[in-house]
Amino acid sequence: MENWYFILELIGTAAFAVSGAMTAVQMRMDLFGAAILGMTTACGGGIIRDMILGLTPPKAFRDPVYAMVAIAVSILVFQPFVRRFLHKRQDIYDMVLQNADTAGLAIFTMTGIETAMSYTAKPNLFLAVFVGVLTGTGGGVLRDLFANRTPVIFRKYFYASASLIGAVICVVLWGELGHLPAVMAGAAVILVLRILAAHYRWHLPAAKED
């Protein structure tokens, strides 16, 4: 089970690193900025999670493989041939960014719940869901703050809501079906909701000027 979660976390790390590095390219940052933004997006949510649960130092600092994977992926995304291709094909850019964000969100929401369940003496629904959603969305919020823009989860997209719904389903099923089925069900719900939201342009009501 530990090996399974490790592989899952590496996939999520790579996915979020792509998202962060692509944002850096879009914001015309240099290579260092791309690496930092990719690493922040990939590791930020997990660091916040561990700080809340009292797991210090955070896992990202105890095991540098996550940061190294994030930096390596960010450098790859920053390469000129990749940047030129993405710049010419806006449709490909949007698709890659959408899928990377969705994969990272689903994976880290679930690993956040697993960590809360494993390292808390008496985990409850609110704690597990809160930690899961924060793990899934925290890196993206930090990414946007570093990029000097309002976090996208606060102004558009059916993003954090999908994480919340998937997290609740996972925690509710945790005691009934066991760890793995609950995690798979929660992740599947997030993936499906994000795909449907992108296709049908779902979004929550937003404040409008009077």
Is pLDDT above 70 for 185? yes
Distances in Å between the Cα of 34 and the Cα atoms of 16, 141, 146 are 12, 16, 11
Mean predicted confidence (pLDDT) in 119-125 = 86
The residue whose two tokens read 């089925």 is 181
CB neighbours (10 Å) of residue 206? 8
Sign of CA dihedral 35, 37, 41, 46: positive
- The region of weakest confidence among 37-41, 43-47, 146-150 is 146-150
The residue whose two tokens read 């869901």 is 129
Is pLDDT above 60 for 210? no
Backbone angles phi and psi of 71, in degrees to 5: -65, -45
Of the chain, the percentage scoring pLDDT greater than 70 comes to 95
Task: Look up the pTM and report it.
Answer: 0.90
pLDDT band at 122 (very low <50, low <70, confident <90, very high): confident
pLDDT of 159-176, one tens digit each?
899 999 999 999 999 988
Mean predicted confidence (pLDDT) in 48-53 = 94
pLDDT value, residue 207: 67
pLDDT value, residue 108: 95
- Kindly report whether the peptide bond that precedes residue 80 is cis, defined as omega within 30 degrees of 0: no
Q: Which residues contact 200 (CB under 8 A, 6 or more apart)?
A: none
pLDDT of 66-101, one tens digit each?
999 999 999 999 998 887 877 777 677 778 878 888
Is pLDDT above 60 for 106? yes
* Average confidence score pLDDT of the chain: 89
How far is it, in rounded angstroms, from Cα 45 to Cα 82? 26
pLDDT value, residue 119: 87
pLDDT value, residue 128: 95
pLDDT value, residue 156: 62
pLDDT value, residue 1: 56
pLDDT of 14-41, one tens digit each?
999 998 998 998 888 999 999 999 999 9
Q: How far separated are the first and last CA of the chain, in Å rounded? A: 53
